Structures are given as C-alpha cells and as structure tokens.
Structure 1
C-alpha cells in the first residue's frame, strides 16, 4: 500500500472533506488536508465576533443542526456523543405565519433527532481534522493541481506558485474547487482542470446553488415574546427561518444569540444588484437592517440587539444531487474523488455520506494491492 497509495490530499475541511480525511487515516492512508480558511467547518463553521463593549460572541451562522437517517452516520453520531463533540438539540421548532402573525406547531416540527456539534458546530470537523494520520494545513489555498503523467501523481501548488507537495490521489470536497462559479467569487480559475477528468466534468457543468444571507443578533435579555427557540417562517419574501443559537447544548448563555436566514429570493435580488464579489461592509450593514426590520414588521417586536451583523453565503447551499448511488464522483485512472452534499443530498448527513464514499474509493484501490 505504501508504495502505490501512500499520500492523499484532501482539499476543503467542511464535514465532507473532514469525514473523508478521517476515514482515510483510520485505514492507514497518510492524508494532508488543505483549507484556505483559518479553521475547519465550511458551512458548519462557527463565527467569532467581538461586540462594541469587547464581549466575545460565537454564532453557528451556517447549518444550525443536522438530522440523521442513515445507520452509518448514526453510528458516527453515537461515537461523537461519547467524545462530547456532539449532542442532541432538544428544543422544538414551530412555524410562524406572516399572514396571520401567529405560531403554529405540527408534529413534524417537533420531532426529535436534531444534532449539533459542541461547543460549536465546527467541533466535529475539528476533531476529524486532527485524527492521527491527518496533517491539516489551515490558511493554505490551493492554486493549481497539476497531473504529472511521468510520475502518475498530482502536484499541488499554492496561489503563489509554490509547491504544496506531491500526492498519489486528491479529493476535492468543495464545489468551488471545480466550479467556474469560483472564478466570479475570487477572480481565479478553479484549481482542478476538469479537462483532465472529462467524465466528471460533464456532471459538474452546472451545480445549482441557493444563496442565503445570515443575520447574527445578540440581545441582553431573552426574547420572551418568542415562545420557541427555533421557527420556520411562512409567507415572507425576506426571512425563511430563525433559531436561538445560545439555546443549543454547550453554548454560553451570558446573552441570548439568534441567527436568521433569508429567503433565496431575497439573497438573489441582493446578489443581482451587487454581484458575487466580496460584499462590502456597507452592503452587509444594509442587509442586516433589512432582515431585522422584517422580523419587526411581522409582529415579532424584539428589543434592539446590542450586536447585529450579516454574512453572505453565496453558493453554500446546493439545490441538486449529482452523484446518485455512488455518492461521490470518481476517476480511477487519475485517482480523483469529488465529494460534498451536492453529490448526495443538500444537508450535513449527505455531505458525511459523500465524504465516506470518496474515502472508500481509495480504500478499494488499497485492498486490491
């Protein structure tokens, strides 16, 4: 095994890439994980903010929780619970109807089995990225992936052109690594040249995504006028749901923190006006005020928060699944795996299953040696 498949590079430390790296390492493959951000998590990342008075605030501003249907993922969740990096969030969710200005509950919204990372959503990714056998390099952007025909291996280069190492296989766990949409956001071409894997390129041509704005709010006192800690919002053109982040297990309760998500229609309107380039502070401030005012206008008259900030998720939420039963995209000749929630289902469980499937492709190579 060591002579043919000794080193694999995983690019992206969201839950899909982290699960893939963890699985590979547990099966004896040396893994180097590259992440352009300062820490792991992707859509499961936890945002650290500092209020004007110096208080440190933390928000799960992407995926607020995840559910589990697969026995394979449930087994992992039980392991994570035993390690205190995951817990069930037992608060019920309601629906708020903006036409009637009332909360309505259904059995579906009050189901159990909503899980969160503890003390933050990114805690699970952190643990997986520090599995023995995984070398994680944060703050490192991969600028180009070159196929070395002579060596039958991959050379990864940073955005400055410096070598990041040579690998027998690569895993792309972030759709921006392979999507032309990456160019419109960063101004750089995607690191992976899809002409090297033409069969995969066909499936990756158009990955529809749903944009979203998240609004992070912090209040001095609990919002007593809201009877639940999470609710979906009907009949609003601006807001889709809201949840009390500080009500999750393992979170600080020094103040009450809420996260609101916009509708995709609202986010698309803003992006159509301002583009996909990095949003300006002025634009985010305008969005934050509009989302907050929508909460006020539907009758949920909350006190003014002492902290309010918006974040744009330009392409984090996929709207399609492209890999079918394989759960990932795989090119055996060049040992390239592409995984993510866009391969299975647009949620955390789908991302985990895709990452595990990608790892299994490399493990099958090893088993044949």
Structure 2
C-alpha cells in the first residue's frame, strides 16, 4: 500500500456475536490502527452487542443489526454501508449473515475492483480431525485472540494482541456498577455459569472456594437463567452478593473492572476481564477456541487425552474413566492457592 492509500484506508469488521467472541474481537481495531494509524474503522454487529463496542478509541462507527428486521433489514443495512466505499473488509464471523454482507459490498465479476476482503476460516477440516480422530493440527497453545488476528497478517497486521484495555465501559456503566456493588466494590468476582454444563466448574466447588476465604467478600455474576447461583450465595449470605441477572453486559463488565480479581469458567466475562487487563483465573475445560491470551490471566487446566472434546463444550463427556474430569480435578484448594498468589497474599 502506498502512503496515500494507507491514509485513506477504510475498514469494516464483521462480527455479530456472541458475547465472548465480540469481546475477543475488540483487539482487532487497535491492531489495525497500529498498522494503519490514519485508517477509519467501522464495525457491524448485532444490536444487543453494540454497547460493548462503544467508547473504543479505535472504532469510528458502529453499525447495528436488529435481528427482528430479518434478512430484508440486513440487506437494507448493507446498501447503507455500501455508500461508505470500504477499502478493506474483514469477515471475522463467517456465517450466513456475514456472507450476505460480503456479497453486497463486493462487486462481483470485476477483477481488481472493490475492497480487499478477508474471511476468517472456520478450519472445519482441522476441527473434524481433532474432535473425531484426536489428531491436533492447530497451533498450540490455543489462543483465541491470536486466531482472530492471524488472518490479517496478509495486510501487515501483527497477530500479537495489543495491550489492554481493549474494552471501555461507559461512565454511566461504572456509576451503575458502583451503585449496585456498594460495600462490595473491590470484592472478588466469580463467574460460575457458562453456556454449556460441561464448561462449568462444579457448583459445590464454588461454595468451597468461598469458605476458604472466610474474611473475603465475593460477587457472583451470571445471567437471569442462572438460578443455581443463588444456591452458591447461600453458603455465606452475609458476605456474598448475587448479581446474576441483575446487570446488563455493560454493567457486568464494570463490576469486573471494580473487583479485586475474577475467577471464571470459559465464558464471556473471562474475556471481559482479559480485555480490561484485570487479574483473572480461567478454569478451562472441554472447549479449545476461547483460550485467554494475556499475562494477567492464570489458566488452570488438566491435561487429558480426551481434551478438547467439542467446539463449545456441548458434550457429551467422552472421558470413560471419570465424568467431567477436566474440571472436577481442578480442586478448590488449587484455585485458592492460585488466587492468593494472584492477589499477592500469603
């Protein structure tokens, strides 16, 4: 690219969901800016995910897609975006919706005309070999952000994640978080939920961890469907605050920011903590593609021949010797020891 072309570069990032994937992809705009400092960067995402992108200094415009509008609404949005004349498009999602955007924004059949385009590969063949035959052709260790940045190397973008923070909750979110936290600001945050059961550290282990810190306050985070979290709170209700289902994604992110540290399953809040640069313990079980990447995170895992066993941890557990061993064998005593080290406590 010439100096003038670099200056006039205009990028579109496509990533609609999910919570954790969008948060991990937040490293991409800053990485692009490192290589193209004068570039303009746009991002199209799902409407409910858009607030996570707000206030990011490397994102110039956010395009929101409302699922209620269906395919017709997406096509209308595409024709609006087409007026921007993007020079580069990165499809970081690679699903049917992102393919529609690629088809509309790229002139068909005209060689050398239109934006440069990269679609992130899902690597289906490698996944098939890994999950069906236990043949691992992926680069090790697994690293979610590296995998998102690697396709951009052909545009001269390094695959090393830019330093945190890469998520910027609003002042309003911080205020709401501090209001709801009250005296629990500075407590240890726990994220006991996950999209699939096999990615969850056992419920009784969370209770044991709390009891191993008798003078410590804890905050529990999760979604409105995570009713089991109240049972964890009941082990020490005088010093455990349950915010599951009571905070938006943005306010939950601010709660993590105002905590001493986060202990988390492989779920979206883990990546929020990573992008904040927050001290974090990641309890990694059956799934390989959401692995954290920053030095502020301590990854705890059990090396087993059956891991990883599925893309999202949806199961079933294939361990014939011990059910759920990948997480069951990470004991509360081990996590407590790592947490004390992380916090600089004896």
- Is the TM-score greater than 0.5? no
Higher relative contact order (CA 8 A, sep 6+): 1
What TM-score do the two structures reach when normalised by structure 2? 0.33
Structure 1 or 2: larger helix share?
Answer: 2
TM-score (norm 1): 0.31
